[in-house]
Structure 1
Amino acid sequence: MALSEEEQRLLEQMEAALAAEDPKLVNTLRGTGVRKLHRRRAAIAGVGFFVGLALLVVGLYLMSSGPIGYVGLSLLGFGIMVAAAVTAIYSWQHVGTSAPARGGERARAPQGSATDGSFMDKMEERWRRRRDESGF
């Protein structure tokens, strides 16, 4: 069912008021913000990696046919590749973790993380479970 012009206008006014009052919420609901930023960084880092690879190969080619002065070009290409790889990995890891928790709940830490308790507490709990299951 389509909205009337009056309803459409009221809806646009409400959206504008919400965007003015809480732009962070609007960005979260639209799916923009941190996740989009990390995806963009990962994509740019991927392109940067291939640019660095091209510089490395060109530097090695020029070095084989001429003076040693092209070592810097190869080293620059290698440095760009390393920086791009680190940036891409960091950004890609944060693409999944930047999503807001659903239902107002806090995102739960994966089992086995440091927030679950100490190592000894976990081992004691396992021991109790084994003892209870075996009937001793």
Structure 2
Amino acid sequence: MPLSDHEQRLLEQMERALYAEDPKFASSLRGHDLRRMHRRRAIRAAAGVLVGIALLLVGVIVKIIALGVLGAVVMILSALLAVHSWRQLPGAAARAAGQPAGPRPARAPRPVMQRFEDRWNRRREADGR
């Protein structure tokens, strides 16, 4: 049920008063930008990968197997978290590939034999025949 005009004005007035009284608290209540959150998580996970690599190397150098295994586990889990966080960013994969964000246009399916013939023709043209 939508708010009435009077209720909407009262709510806006209360928000302005809260922001004037305690701006830090009010900004913490506004919410977080998801893009920023996922980017921070990906950066932290990348740092975790580096820490895991360092632990793995130290474990190998000083011949402590448990430390090497711990480093490998930290590295793998951090890499998985980094990839997951990077995929959660809106349009991250498209930007990385240099394509505009959004759904890809659907291509019309071609018959299998047509694709084989096209490949054959391209090979023949590449060979100069």
2:37 corresponds in structure 1 to: 37
Confirm whether residue 76 of structure 1 aligns to residue 70 of structure 2: yes
Aligned partner (choices 99, 105, 109) of residue 123 of structure 1: 109
Residue 60 of structure 1 is matched in structure 2 by 60
Using a 3 Å threshold, how does the CA distance of structure 1 residues 15 and 50 change in structure 2: closer, same or farther? farther
- Alignment match, 1:46: 46
Count of residues in Structure 1 that have an aligned counterpart in Structure 2: 81
The aligned amino acid for 2:90 is G
- Deviation, structure 1 residue 50: 1.0
CA distance in structure 2 between the aligned counterparts of 1:74 and 1:110, rounded to whole angstroms: 43
2:117 corresponds in structure 1 to none
> Does residue 124 of structure 2 align to residue 93 of structure 1?
no
| Identity %, equivalent residues | 30
**Higher fraction of helix:** 1
Q: C-alpha distance in 1, partners of 2:55/2:33?
A: 33
- After superposition, the CA RMSD in angstroms is 3.3
> How many angstroms apart in 2 are the aligned matches of 1:59 and 1:111?
49
Q: Gapped runs of 5+ residues in structure 1?
A: 1-12, 20-25, 64-69, 99-106, 113-118, 128-136
Distance 2:49 2:15 in 1: 41
Q: Distance in 2 between matches of 1:15 and 1:94?
A: 34
> Higher RCO, 1 or 2 (CA under 8 Å, sep at least 6)?
1
Shift of 1:109: 2.1
Do the aligned residues in 1 keep the contact of 2:46 with 2:79 (CA within 8 Å)? yes
Alignment match, 1:16: 15
Partners in 2 of 1:84 and 1:123 — Cα distance? 39
Give me the whole-angstrom Cα distance separating, in 1, the residues matched to 2:76 and 2:57.
Answer: 15
* 1:73-102 Cα shifts (integer Å, max 9, x gaps): 10110111111111111111222349xxxx
- Deviation, structure 1 residue 46: 1.1
Provide structure 2 residue ranges, at least 5 long, that are not aligned to the other structure: 1-11, 19-29, 93-100, 115-129
